[in-house]
Amino acid sequence: MTGSSFCSMKDYLKQTGGFAVIDGGLATEFERHGADLNDPLWSAKCLLTSPHLIHTVHLDYLEAGADIISSASYQATIQGFEAKGFSREISESLLRKSVEIACEARNTYYDKCGTSSSMDDKILKKRPILVAASVGSYGAYLADGSEYSGVYGDLITLEKLKDFHRRRLQVLAESGADLIAFETIPNKIEAQAFAELLEEGDVKIPGWFSFNSKDGVNVVSGDSIKECISIAENCEKVVAVGINCTPPRFIEGLVLEIEKVTSKPILVYPNSGESYDADRKEWVENTGVGDEDFVSYVEKWMDAGVSLLGGCCRTTPTTIRAIHKRLVNRRSH
């Protein structure tokens, strides 16, 4: 697939047997490979220091069975790069690079599928693979953990959020991605900003909207999950809706609420359930669930109506391989 050919998630799911696998956490994988991400740019730092590592991790996820891979642009913003002293031109080229690396990894994977068969637990199967350009919230740019609270203060208006994201979306949309993954959206106002930007017409590819929750009832800001999903439901350019970066135990209840207000495919890619310490900028070890427990939820999520499944922070290719295996029996061939 290329950016121009994808337009409907429902049609895509027909090609993938009714279900699709989203990749897992990028930043935590980069760290596992030795990258130091203690930086406001977080995983976007790898665009500067180790692009080859990003390619490797994308490939690891494809070989684990992911059908959709997200670019390393979650925390990559023009404003963030400029704050590091880069020109506007270089900042935009780094955004483009994040998508180009993911597209290159997809091509590398397809080449491998043509030359060898599945081995060593690697899944080498030619299939329609999507590249999603990852867009984090304004809170992710602040790098102070406010995407986990959704509290931006009274000074941040709808128009300010649109101005913050507008050029970034245009650049990512023109970089070869199939869709934009609006991720870890913490509040209603930012969902509204994204929806209006998609409808302005400068962004030529569709997107999905994914929110996060810390109580299993509302999004992290306290805004109603139903109201947030309704914004996405009313935007034609949004092709799927759901939840990410949220503990697995909350997912089923949230999905049942989401189902009441959407006709779009539902996606979930939770974190491992570990808690994030915003002051120390690190995940608190041993507060989450292991891969086995994580994957034990998958059947419930599918029964609740989820058709796109993956992982977020602290999940790995091992998690994704296990999800892929669970989906094999549920997919219609």
Residue with structure tokens 């092709």? 239
**Amino acid letter for position 126:** K
Task: Judge whether 313 is annotated as a binding position.
Answer: yes
Handedness of CA 57, 62, 65, 70 (dihedral sign): positive
Task: Judge whether 245 is annotated as a binding position.
Answer: yes
Laid out side by side, the sheet with 238-244 consists of 20-21, 306-309, 266-269, 238-244, 207-211, 179-185, 130-135, 68-70
Task: Give the three-state DSSP class for 296.
Answer: helix
Using CA atoms of 247, 252, 253, 255 in order, give the dihedral in degrees to the nearest 10.
110
Q: How far apart are CA 120 and CA 181, in angstroms?
A: 31
Task: Give the three-state DSSP class for 200.
Answer: coil
Annotated binding site for Zn(2+): 245, 312-313
Binding residues: 245, 312-313
